[in-house]
A and B are shown apart, each in its own frame.
Chain A
Amino acid sequence: MRKWGMVIDLDRCAGCQACVVACKAENNVVHSDPVQEETFRAISWMSVLTVMEGEYPDVKERYFPRPCMHCENPPCVKVCPVGATYKNPEGIVAQVYTRCIGCRYCTNNCPYTLKYFNYFRPRWTREMKNLLNPDVPKRQVGVVEKCTFCHHRLQKAKEDARFEKRELREKDYVPACVQTCPTGALIFGDLENPKSEVFRLSKISRAFRLLEELGTEPQVFYLTEGEWHG
């Protein structure tokens, strides 16, 4: 069985936010306004945090892209009372929107705060309405949503492979953020396959994971030279 995971090379990230835009466009993530942003009610499955290092004038700005960690041991799954969020056999932490009752236990229990509650009814401008991705449903107000590693792409890739009577190749399936990244800072693949790039990179000495001490075992690995002072 495959275990999908991502490697993010922080030394390569230029902070262009292309992944953020690609994610929003691919997954019909609703656009938020500054008020929602200020009250922490904005939704952005992929976000790039900026970290300033050093004192003025000798400062260095670093960027930190942050999708769902798809933990091996996900704290959000443990608290869901209705089974709307669960760990799928292929390592994706899935969210079934039609099952979610909006209790927000999972948003509170996620140590990375990467689950988003729909506080508002999603509204789209007239121009945007025709640009929504038909492969992804629009979420309702009152449900929690999250990064899914674009698993609708996996559904299609698997079907294509079966139709053509071949095995699913690793490159058949990449999330929108990885496909877009112009510097190649995001790498996606199968963490169980010893031949894959992510397998190799996740084992090197530059690799670390976010809040590793919690034991959540994220499937998103970060790479950086030296110590990370995030």
Chain B
Amino acid sequence: MKVDGHMLNKLRKPKKLSLVFIGLALGVSVFLLVILLESWGGTTQPLRFNHKIHAENELTCQDCHPYFLEYASSGRPELETCILCHEEALTESEEEKKLLGYIQSGNEIEWVRLFRVPEDVYFSHRRHVAVGNVECAVCHGDIGESTRPPSNPRNMSMKKCMDCHEDKQVNNDCIACHR
């Protein structure tokens, strides 16, 4: 039988449509799965630290990250710092119970570094905060408002660094940051 082009088109159409539907369904399910995984926790940290609640209790960034004005690294809180307030349970929270467990055992909490730059990049907090007067939120966003740790560590992008350097008319030479 001779098949003309018109007929072929007719035959093809439903096939194409079904492919699109399958693709869509797959996409949606993957999206839902990602959301589900995120809400299950999927957190990077050993315990779900709530930045917001600490900020509301009038703690500043520097109380737990003490070194950003003097050193390259800002520092992550040590148990000694936590004990200052959490000698006894302050709330009913499960996460606080975990913290009390750490305090009892005396093992430091192994906080995961959330904001990362590549190994060959020299980034100094002192240079940016103490010398350049950059606010924490410029790079760290609304982490201070977050109620639980983000699910993934965040890699800082070179574009963001360079745009900011251009805006502020500071050194944009490659080896000012790349060593």
A residues contacting B by CB (< 8 A) are 86, 88-89, 92, 94, 96-99, 135-138, 148, 151-152, 155, 159, 162-163
Instruction: Identify which of B118, B119, B131 gathers the most chain A CB atoms within 10 Å of its CB.
Output: B131
A137 and B175 contact, CB distance less than 8 A: no
B174 at the interface (CB under 8 A from A): yes
Interface hit among B104-112, B120-128, B145-153: B120-128
B173 at the interface (CB under 8 A from A): yes
A98 and B178 contact, CB distance less than 8 A: yes
Besides A94-B173, A99-B174, A155-B122, 6 more A-B contacts (Cβ < 8 Å) are A96-B175, A98-B118, A137-B120, A148-B179, A152-B179, A155-B176
B34 at the interface (CB under 8 A from A): no
B120 and A97 contact, CB distance less than 8 A: yes
A162 and B173 contact, CB distance less than 8 A: no
B164 at the interface (CB under 8 A from A): no
| A162-B131 contact given A151-B175, A155-B176, CB 8 Å threshold | yes
Chain A interface helix/strand/loop/mixed: loop
CB proximity of A152 to chain B, nearest CB, Å: 5
Interface residues in B121-147 (C-beta closer than 8 Å to A): 122, 124, 126-127, 130-131
What are the residues of chain B within 8 A of A152 when measuring CB–CB?
122, 179
Size of chain B's interface in residues, with CB distance under 8 A?
Answer: 15
Instruction: Find the B residue at minimum CB distance from A85.
Output: B174
Measured in the bound complex, the distance between the Cα atoms of B178 and A148 in whole Å is: 12
A86 and B130 contact, CB distance less than 8 A: no
What are the residues of chain B within 8 A of A136 when measuring CB–CB?
179
Instruction: Find the A residue at minimum CB distance from B158.
Output: A98
A135 and B122 contact, CB distance less than 8 A: yes
Instruction: Find the B residue at minimum CB distance from A150.
Output: B179
Measured in the bound complex, the distance between the Cα atoms of B130 and A148 in whole Å is: 27
A98 and B120 contact, CB distance less than 8 A: yes
Measured in the bound complex, the distance between the Cα atoms of B174 and A162 in whole Å is: 19
A159 and B126 contact, CB distance less than 8 A: yes
Looking at the complex, which one of B124, B130, B175 makes contact with A92 (CB distance below 8 Å)?
B175
